[in-house]
Amino acid sequence: MLFFIVASTVAKDYTQIAMKRSYEIDMCSGPLVPKILQFAIPLMLSGILQLLFNAADIIVVGQFTGPTAMAAVGSTGSLNNLIVNIFLGLSVGSSVLMARYFGAKDERNIDELVHTSIFLAVSCGAVLILAGILFARPLLSLMGTPDDVIDQAVLYMSIVFLGMPAMLTYDFGAGILRAVGDTKRPLAFLFASGIINVCLNLFFVLGFGLGVAGVAIATVVSQYISAFLVLRCMMCTASCYRLDIRRLRLSSSKVRQIARIGIPAGIQGAVFNISNVLIQSSINSFGSLAIAGNTAASNIEGFIYTSMNSFYQAATSFTSQNVGAGKTKRLIPILADCLILVTITGVALGALARLFGPQLLGIYSSDPAVINYGLTRMDIICSTHFLNGLMDTACGSIRGLGYSLAPTVVTLLGACAFRVLWILTVFQFSHTLLTLYLSYPISWMITFISHMICFAVFYRRYKQGASAVNSHRF
């Protein structure tokens, strides 16, 4: 009860302040770099806090329960992402539409989109609860999860999926806020729920000895708190995206528009994770210590990725709003500035992560073998992770223009299909973790170049007037 009182107080304070000042960013005029940073930095911090949900799980079980429990939590990551990404893609579609309507000052469509999006989030979350519970064990078995890991992995995954309605509600709601430039309040809400998550992790694991189940329960509780906060914010705002729970409904036209953008984005994320699941399956063949080391390194790299991902979201929102406002001349500078900023971020954070790799991995586990396995991954990924940021940012600009299918196809061929081919060929001849990890930077570079070619083609088509500013080519 105390946690919900604290959460409610945070929401009340922020919604009262929101009545007095705007959190929105004018993306359609003025210098770009300061506004991109104003948008991206809170978003970056939000992503880092969101990652801490899973990082806290892994650190607590790694330090207080052991490598097997740590491997159990880590082994579910790719599979969880595979299952939920279709639905998370729909939140991308909602956000792109919101930015387009907001740039065009179309309040009627904004209102309809907001109520459809939240209804859709809750409905999809309910479906995911069933999917996670029913398919956890068969899919983890298919991935070759070791016998000493699988029971705890199934338990963790089954509990975590009880929080899917809350996770999707937060993502859809925060996506709506971010589409209008408000990245600060989602950050505050995640901070409150993240602190609660860490406290509950320690409470359940150390106080009650619940292990994997304890960290899963903590994650679910924190997700429902973050969803509550974002909903309350939207219900109390005086802006055009105000939410009225009594008016939640599905608009068939809005669902179709969301799906046209979101389903290709979701399929991209899901199929992208199929390649990651195959890689995880290959890592599983090296044993539980290798899984634990890979899990720890992946978590550290996740902080780099989510920092870079803020520029992907900036490219999408800034491009979409300026398309809605008819500001064609700003589109190439938006892409160029985001590419420069994401490169600087990826190179700097990657270098720091590798420099302090042993110390960072030591936070997750004190086992020397786990740390060595983690460093093997970081040697390859940290120095090249900026390529992943370039790939995603170019993809974001294409989606902002209103094209979602093309970047999906490009990513599936350039990243996913390439990695599968790599595993079936090169990895079979050189069965080492180093060879396996090399598939990442090569696939990122191929896909980035392909995305840039696509952007050039679609931008020229847009400039030539193949699509009118407000014709919503979704």
d(CA 93, CA 472) in angstroms, rounded, equals: 12
Give yes or no for a contact between 390 and 336, defined as CB atoms under 8 angstroms apart: no
CB neighbour class for 100 (10 Å; exposed up to 12, middle 13-18, buried from 19)? buried
CB neighbour class for 357 (10 Å; exposed up to 12, middle 13-18, buried from 19)? buried
382-434 pLDDT per residue, tens: 999 999 999 999 999 999 988 888 888 998 888 888 988 998 899 888 988 88
Distances from the Cα of 67 to the Cα of 60, 223, 293, 446, angstroms? 11, 26, 9, 36
In angstroms and rounded to an integer, the radius of gyration of the C-alpha atoms of the chain is 21
The whole-number pLDDT of residue 122 equals: 93
d(CA 402, CA 466) in angstroms, rounded, equals: 12
Question: Residue 472: CB partners within 8 Å, gap ≥ 6?
Answer: 97, 100, 257, 402
The whole-number pLDDT of residue 445 equals: 95
Structure tokens at 58: 């892994």
The whole-number pLDDT of residue 468 equals: 44
Q: What is the pTM of this model?
A: 0.77
DSSP 141-168: HHTT--HHHHHHHHHHHHHHGGGHHHHH
Q: For the packed helices 164-179 and 77-103, what is the interaxial angle rounded to 10 degrees? A: 30
Would you kindly state where each structural domain of the chain is located, as residue ranges? 25-463
Residue with tokens 């903590």: 218
Per-residue pLDDT tens listing for the chain (474 residues): 444 444 445 445 544 444 445 677 889 888 999 999 999 999 888 878 777 766 667 777 777 777 777 777 777 776 777 677 777 788 888 998 999 898 888 899 999 999 999 999 999 999 989 888 888 888 888 877 787 788 888 898 889 899 999 999 999 999 999 888 888 898 889 888 888 888 898 888 888 878 888 888 998 999 999 999 999 999 998 888 999 998 998 888 999 999 888 888 877 777 776 777 778 788 888 888 888 888 889 888 988 998 999 999 999 999 999 988 888 889 999 999 999 999 999 999 999 999 999 999 998 888 898 899 999 999 999 999 999 999 999 999 999 988 888 888 998 888 888 988 998 899 888 988 889 899 999 999 999 999 999 999 999 888 876 444 444 444
